[in-house]
Amino acid sequence: MALESFVAIMAVIAATLLDPGVYFAINTGAGVVGADAHTAVATITGWGFPVTVDQMATLAHRMGEHTLFARTGGAPSLAVGMASIFSSTFGNSLLAAWYHFALMFEAVFILTTIDAGTRVGRFMLQDFLGHFWKPLGRTSWYPSVLLTSALIVAGWGYFLYVGVIDPNGGINILWPLFGIANQMLAAIALSVATGIIIKSGKIRYSWVTGGPLAWLAIVTTVAAWQKITSTDPTLGFFSGAADLADKLAKGVLPAARVASAPKLIFNQQLDGWLTILFTVIVWLVIIDMLRVALRAARGLPLPGSKRAKCVATRPNISMGSGTGIVITVPERC
């Protein structure tokens, strides 16, 4: 979380270095401003943020890109800003190199996060499926590893796909849900840590993780509640989908948006239902942690911590040096 906050600070600093018109040209999807460069420029300039086609073409050339229009997601604008900072210190001749370095930096950061998240998701899914068939709960059994890994990758891969094909740009469908899910994951981690502290007989130290947990739970739940129940179409998932569906039914949408409207409606509704699911899961974990804390405060016995039994799947065999004797090393898990 600390590292993510550091990246967020860098992103804010980088964004402040860009002209507002350039920022919106990079971060606004073609479904909003138009697919043609001249149309996009006219739309953004009409918002009160002047930008020209030549200005964007020159910037793209200096960064080593063909175009920077509708490069939603945050990475290109972060890279342009960071490249400007580095080039002002080390020289403009390396502007394109710094730009691609910043893209690689963010890509590596995201990929390591996805890698860790995929592993955690796979362990959680294996633990869940193990209640129905014990072999699926064994983290060392390759069929279970391959099955659960494929399911987790298919899950986040689907959202990556719908974000790419979203007419308004991936940031509109992915970012709100990512922001909510990311903080809820932190709340779950803090709940687990608080429960471990309490079950270790150190309840007086539970405030160390309990304080941040309370803040995250309140802020994230309020944000999720607003995204679910708000009647403002620009804020709420369901209200946004309903507003778009109503305009589609009345035939008041521009022709260019009619074809993409069903896709946008589905994406908004999917985000809404997943937000509900995430919120319920988080509060189930928090409530269970509070149950443990209440039992500890009353001096009642606490459920013991459980650890999955190590099940060997592959022996490691080596040869004795010069003796011809086979030495079998204990099996690894």
User: 173-184: per-residue pLDDT in tens?
Assistant: 677 777 788 788
Read off the pLDDT of each residue in 320-333 and give the average, rounded to a whole number: 49
* Predicted pLDDT at 110: 72
**Residue 331 pLDDT greater than 50, yes or no:** no
Nearest to 156 by CA among 103, 188, 111, 186: 111
pLDDT tens profile 98-115: 888 888 887 777 777 778
**Residue 12 pLDDT greater than 50, yes or no:** yes
Choose the weakest-confidence range: 129-138, 155-164, 189-198, 313-322: 313-322
pLDDT tens profile 22-65: 999 998 887 788 888 999 999 999 999 999 999 999 999 989 99
SS3 116: helix
- Residue 268 to residue 257: CA distance in whole angstroms: 15
- Residue 239 to residue 6: CA distance in whole angstroms: 34
Q: Phi-psi bin for 315: left (phi > 0), alpha (psi -120 to 50), beta?
A: beta
Read off the pLDDT of each residue in 298-322 and give the average, rounded to a whole number: 60
**Residue 329 pLDDT greater than 50, yes or no:** no
Give the pairing of strands 314-319 and 326-332.
antiparallel
* Residue 56 and residue 25 in contact, taking contact as beta carbons nearer than 8 Å: yes
pLDDT tens profile 213-266: 999 899 989 989 999 999 998 889 999 999 989 988 988 887 777 877 888 888
* % of the chain residues with pLDDT over 70: 87
**Residue 311 pLDDT greater than 70, yes or no:** no
